[in-house]
Amino acid sequence: MSYDLVKRLRKWDYGESTWGLLESAADRIEKLETELHHCFHRIEELQAALRGVIAIADRDCPEFRFARKALDAE
């Protein structure tokens, strides 16, 4: 969806002054999408780490409870 928006912003022709604004908006959207993708990747890494804690931790230790609670919140 945002790819289409970026594509339309880059094609839109309303004059020199507006084009700079639209181009900046398209650049910002692409930057935010890149950052969002990075955040999703990092969340997946953290979830894997929490699953690792659950796999090796004693069920009575605080780390196990923390990891279990964090993953249950998904």
* DSSP letters spanning 1-63: -HHHHHHHHHH--S-HHHHHHHHHHHHHHHHHHHHHHHHHHHHHHHHHHHHHHHHHS-TTSHH
Full-model pTM:
0.66
Give the model confidence (pLDDT) of 26-57 as tens digits.
899 999 999 999 999 999 999 999 999 999 98
Residue ranges of domains in the chain:
2-72
Q: What is the average pLDDT across 14-21?
A: 69
Per-residue confidence (pLDDT) for residue 19, from 0 to 100: 63
Tokens coding 4: 């289409």
Taking the C-alpha atoms of residue 5 and residue 25, their distance in angstroms, rounded to an integer, is 10
15: phi > 0 → left, psi -120 to 50 → alpha, else beta; which? left
